């Protein structure tokens, strides 16, 4: 059973436009579909992964991976997909500690069943994720460890470095670590070049 025409069309449109509409902050890193076929099951799950690397704001330089999956492609796009953050993150609207794999661990209004419409598509999902990095909503917190804006930017930096917040240890963010290492190398080269003058 192959993917439906609508889901294929929406995915290919996303692949063509993701770099431009996200200003280079989002990219597809994995795509695919896995059949869930047995004698009682007719549905097919379509999923792909997206990396978001914010170019500004408190998460600047970090890279965060999300899985977007459609449980029943025949229902696309009448129901929102399941979106799961796969990267440790200190964010009020993302609960990366949630291990329930059949629900989203991202809270943004456009992805709610009551708000989502058949006009929404995968671009809507990526735009919503980008929005969360620049406009975290503390009034609708999902995360049990990030529910206040007190010291928020400082705590985000601690999480990106791989620190501990409220007893939870974060893994260092790979994108942030790579960016910092590149910046440190550039600074060292600049200092060496300045000393040679």
Give pLDDT, residue 100: 77
Give pLDDT, residue 184: 54
Residue 91 DSSP label: B
CA distances from 154 to 28, 90, 96, 173, 175 (A): 29, 11, 19, 15, 18
Enzyme catalytic residues: 107
140: helix, coil or strand?
Answer: helix
Which of 28-32, 42-46, 65-69, 193-197 has maximum average pLDDT? 65-69
CB atoms within 10 A of CB 147: 13
Of 74, 186, 57, 193, which Cα lies nearest the Cα of 134? 57
Is the predicted pLDDT of residue 189 greater than 90, yes or no?
no
Of 166, 118, 128, which Cα lies nearest the Cα of 146? 166
What number of CA atoms fall less than 13 Å from residue 52's CA on the CB side?
28
Class of domain 5-196: alpha beta
Higher pLDDT, 80 or 183: 80
Higher pLDDT, 106 or 190: 106
């Amino acid at each position: 059973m192959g993917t439906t025409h609508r889901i294929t069309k929406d995915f290919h449109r996303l692949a063509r436009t993701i770099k431009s509409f996200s200003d280079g902050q989002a990219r597809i890193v994995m795509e695919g579909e896995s059949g869930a076929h047995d004698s009682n099951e007719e549905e097919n799950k379509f999923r792909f992964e997206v990396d978001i690397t914010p170019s500004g704001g408190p998460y600047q330089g970090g890279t965060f991976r999300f899985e977007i999956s459609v449980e029943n492609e025949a229902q696309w796009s009448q129901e929102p997909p399941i979106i799961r953050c796969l990267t440790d993150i200190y964010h009020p609207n993302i609960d990366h500690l949630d291990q329930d794999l059949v629900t989203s661990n991202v809270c943004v209004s456009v992805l709610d069943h009551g708000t989502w419409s058949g006009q929404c598509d995968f671009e809507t999902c990526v735009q919503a994720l980008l929005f969360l990095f620049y406009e975290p909503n503390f009034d609708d917190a999902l995360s049990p460890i990030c529910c206040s804006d007190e010291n928020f930017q400082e705590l985000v930096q601690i999480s990106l470095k791989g620190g501990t917040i409220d007893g939870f240890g974060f893994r260092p963010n790979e994108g942030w670590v790579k960016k910092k290492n590149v910046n440190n190398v550039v600074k060292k080269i600049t200092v060496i070049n300045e000393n040679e003058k």
